[in-house]
Amino acid sequence: MINKSKQFIDEVQVEMKKVSWPSWEELKGSTYVVLSLSLVLAVFLFFVDFLLGKVLSFIL
């Protein structure tokens, strides 16, 4: 059990060295894109929900 755990940790370290980590600028850019699109989607869903609520309240 201990040998398997040590082997697993060693393999994880080898694989982590192969990872291509983004630079700080790439990370900031991606974060801005995700936050912007999340905000746009939230506003869009707010208006759709508001309009469907008004339509349903008019019908009922």
Q: How far is CA 34 from CA 2, 25, 29, in A?
A: 41, 14, 9
pLDDT of residue 2: 87
Q: What is the pLDDT of residue 57?
A: 93
Is residue 10 within 8 Å of 18, Cβ to Cβ? no
> What percentage of residues in the chain have a pLDDT greater than 70?
100
- Residue carrying the six token digits 């694989």: 15
Q: What is the pTM of this model?
A: 0.65
4-45 pLDDT per residue, tens: 999 999 999 999 999 999 999 999 999 999 999 999 999 999
